């Protein structure tokens, strides 16, 4: 059994893992850059190690720095959180070569799902419905024209190695194809060092529905329903909820089963998310994330499980602590992402926090590494907190969100909190009637 886990991350997700460790009687080790010496994860962990200068490449992304920190502290395992090294197959390999355990999937599964073409092919072969598109990579513009004619416009050109919404270009008709094709390629090359692209039918008004799966690595896997993450800005999620307002119990059971079967057949281990676009009652696979996601707390809210604890358990070879039959949806949960950004343009707003007061009360969870007087460093992403509410049903969760928002105080910096107050005034949000374009359109009209 693990005695000590090193958390190769920072911010709220590092706290999330430290808390799970503490409850399981496992010691935690925080790593931090020099810019994070005063960060909350350093204070809450049992031990901490400085692993380098502010730049992520020299600290949170540095294999040797993190492996050395494990060796110095005698940690048995590494939890990567999300982002940073969480989906880096080469890192997983190095961790294993040092006789340490990576708390997450195998290097092979990370590699397969990290390449969008192989991921799509694998999922298709496992019986998961995918978006119509090219069979694999599209080598040149002439082939692109052919594929686009076959599947019909509009089409989207996507970089195989893309992520975070980068390397994706829309072509509404033949006249837009060449530019879209070339830009997606060069963005893929610049951002991910890989210019391979593929083509998909562009869906006009889908919802983003993702299924949480969990495997024990030995062929047993379950699903924990869906999250609706359609409210996005520049392909980044800002508001997530579970269950999805557009998904009924029968649909959940059907697609959930397809996903659980698929991951059980590949002996998947740990937490994973299978992302779909959902339009006119049909699911279309877009990608699989082989890690814990930012929005996992909404799933924890409605199923009453601790996903990080479960990750740590299966990494030690223990069985899942629940079966599919044990899992039932209870109520409704919503998460909003609080970023240190100035509206209306979402410009990063790092700086020193004055007063900080977290909301509380029944059904309210605030996952944040903020504290009064904390200086938010400018080097990392701008997520500073996640407010998660749970209620017996969607209306109760919405009013609880409204109430919790009214309690939060974050002084000294600009945040995205006012966006959520405004969204809660919108009839479409209150009725759950939105697709993946809703927020962009709303922002354009209310900017």
Angstrom distance (rounded) from CA 411 to CA 413: 6
286 binds ligand ADP, rule: CB under 6 A: yes
> Which of 163, 348 has the CB closer to ligand ADP?
163
Give the strands of the sheet with 101-102, arranged side by side: 47-52, 27-33, 4-7, 77-79, 101-102
Structure tokens at 207: 């919802």
273 binds ligand ADP, rule: CB under 6 A: no
> Which of 114, 270 has the CB closer to ligand ADP?
114
Query: Whole-number minimum distance, CB 235 to ligand ADP, in Å?
Result: 4
| CA-based nearest residue to 288, from 353, 371, 343, 211 | 211
> Which of 292, 305 has the CB closer to ligand ADP?
292
176, containing H or E segment: helix 174-192
- The DSSP code sequence of 212-281 is EEEEESSS-EEEEEEEEEEEEETTEEEEEEES-TT--HHHHHHHHHHHHHHHHHTT-EEEEEEEEEEETT
In sequence order, which residues have a C-beta less than 8 Å from that of residue 46 and are 6 or more positions away?
4, 27, 28, 29
| CA-based nearest residue to 132, from 106, 159, 153 | 153
Query: For ligand ADP, which residue of 187, 200, 310, 341 counts as binding (CB under 6 A)?
Result: 200
Q: How many residues bind to ligand ADP according to rule CB under 6 A?
A: 18
Report, in this order, helix, strand and coil percent for the chain, each rounded to 5: 35, 30, 35
Query: Whole-number minimum distance, CB 159 to ligand ADP, in Å?
Result: 8
Q: Which listed range, 30-38, 48-56, 200-208, 403-411, lies at the site for ligand ADP (CB under 6 A)?
A: 200-208
* CB burial readout 310-337, b (16+ within 10 A) else e: bbbbbbeeeebeeebeebebebbbbbbb
SS3 (DSSP) at 107:
helix
Contacts with ligand ADP in 207-266 (CB under 6 A)?
208, 232, 235
Contacts with ligand ADP in 342-361 (CB under 6 A)?
none
Query: Whole-number minimum distance, CB 279 to ligand ADP, in Å?
Result: 9
Query: Whole-number minimum distance, CB 120 to ligand ADP, in Å?
Result: 10
**Residue of 291, 313, 337, 400 with catalytic role:** 291
> Which of 335, 414 has the CB closer to ligand ADP?
335
> Which of 231, 327 has the CB closer to ligand ADP?
231
Query: Whole-number minimum distance, CB 17 to ligand ADP, in Å?
Result: 23
DSSP code at position 386: E
Query: Whole-number minimum distance, CB 390 to ligand ADP, in Å?
Result: 24
287 binds ligand ADP, rule: CB under 6 A: yes
Query: Whole-number minimum distance, CB 162 to ligand ADP, in Å?
Result: 5
> Which of 107, 277 has the CB closer to ligand ADP?
277
Angstrom distance (rounded) from CA 184 to CA 412: 39
Query: For ligand ADP, which residue of 313, 436, 438, 442 counts as binding (CB under 6 A)?
Result: 436
Query: For ligand ADP, which residue of 163, 304, 331, 351 counts as binding (CB under 6 A)?
Result: 163
Say if residues 113 and 37 touch (Cβ distance below 8 Å): no
> Which of 111, 390 has the CB closer to ligand ADP?
111
Q: Which listed range, 11-19, 195-203, 328-336, 354-362, lies at the site for ligand ADP (CB under 6 A)?
A: 195-203
Backbone angles phi, psi at 446, to 5 degrees: -110, 5
Interstrand relation of 375-376 and 351-352 (parallel, antiparallel or unpaired): antiparallel
**Annotation says 265 is catalytic:** no
Structure tokens at 242: 């579970």
Query: Whole-number minimum distance, CB 108 to ligand ADP, in Å?
Result: 20
Q: What angle do CA 25, 18, 229 make, to 5 degrees?
A: 125
Contacts with ligand ADP in 101-160 (CB under 6 A)?
131, 156
Q: Is 180 left (phi over 0), alpha (psi -120 to 50) or beta?
A: alpha
Token look-up 């039918």 returns 201
Query: For ligand ADP, which residue of 74, 127, 165, 319 counts as binding (CB under 6 A)?
Result: 165
Query: For ligand ADP, which residue of 83, 105, 162, 391 counts as binding (CB under 6 A)?
Result: 162
Query: Whole-number minimum distance, CB 95 to ligand ADP, in Å?
Result: 24
Q: Which listed range, 198-206, 258-266, 391-399, 400-408, lies at the site for ligand ADP (CB under 6 A)?
A: 198-206
Query: For ligand ADP, which residue of 12, 275, 306, 367 counts as binding (CB under 6 A)?
Result: 275
Q: Which listed range, 201-209, 253-261, 326-334, 415-423, lies at the site for ligand ADP (CB under 6 A)?
A: 201-209
Footprint of ligand ADP (CB under 6 A): 131, 156, 162-165, 168, 200, 202-203, 208, 232, 235, 275, 277, 286-287, 436
Q: Which residues are identified as catalytic?
A: 291
């Amino acid at each position: 059994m693990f005695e000590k886990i090193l958390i190769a991350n920072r911010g709220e997700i590092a706290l999330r893992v430290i808390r799970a460790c503490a409850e399981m009687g496992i010691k935690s080790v925080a790593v931090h850059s020099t810019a994070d010496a005063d960060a909350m994860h350093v204070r809450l962990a049992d031990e901490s190690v400085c692993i380098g200068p502010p730049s992520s490449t020299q600290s949170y992304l540095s294999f040797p720095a993190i492996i050395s920190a494990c060796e110095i502290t005698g940690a048995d395992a590494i939890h990567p959180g999300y982002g940073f090294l969480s989906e880096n197959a080469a890192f997983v390999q190095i961790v294993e070569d040092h006789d340490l355990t990576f708390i997450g999937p195998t290097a092979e599964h990370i590699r397969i799902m990290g390449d969008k073409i192989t991921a799509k092919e694998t999922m298709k072969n496992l019986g998961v419905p995918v978006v119509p598109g090219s069979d694999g990579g599209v080598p040149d513009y002439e082939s692109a024209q052919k594929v686009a004619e076959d599947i019909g416009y509009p089409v989207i050109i996507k970089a195989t190695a893309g992520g975070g919404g980068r390397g994706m270009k829309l072509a509404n008709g033949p006249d837009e194809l060449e530019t879209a094709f070339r830009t997606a390629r060069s963005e893929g090359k610049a951002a991910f060092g890989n210019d391979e692209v593929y083509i998909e039918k562009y869906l006009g008004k889908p919802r983003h529905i993702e299924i949480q799966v969990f495997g024990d690595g030995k062929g047993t896997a379950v699903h924990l329903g869906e999250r609706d993450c359609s409210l996005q800005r520049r392909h980044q999620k800002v508001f997530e909820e579970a269950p999805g307002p557009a998904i009924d119990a029968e649909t959940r059971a059907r697609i959930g089963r397809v996903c659980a079967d698929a991951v059980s057949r590949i002996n998947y281990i740990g937490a994973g998310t299978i992302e779909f676009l959902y339009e006119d009652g049909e699911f279309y696979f877009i990608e699989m994330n082989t890690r814990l996601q930012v929005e996992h707390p909404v799933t924890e809210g409605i199923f009453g499980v601790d996903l990080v604890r479960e990750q740590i358990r299966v990494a030690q070879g223990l069985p899942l602590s629940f079966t599919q039959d044990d899992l039932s949806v209870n109520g409704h949960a919503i998460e909003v992402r609080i970023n240190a950004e100035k509206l209306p343009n979402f410009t990063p707003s790092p700086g020193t926090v004055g007063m900080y007061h977290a909301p509380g009360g029944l059904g309210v969870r605030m996952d944040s590494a903020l504290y009064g007087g904390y200086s938010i460093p400018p080097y990392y992403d701008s997520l500073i907190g996640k407010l998660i509410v749970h209620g017996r049903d969607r209306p109760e969760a919405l009013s609880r969100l409204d109430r919790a928002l009214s309690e939060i105080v974050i002084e000294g910096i600009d945040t995205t909190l006012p966006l959520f107050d405004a969204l809660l005034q919108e009839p479409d949000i209150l009725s759950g009637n939105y697709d993946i374009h809703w927020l962009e359109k709303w922002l354009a009209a209310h900017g």
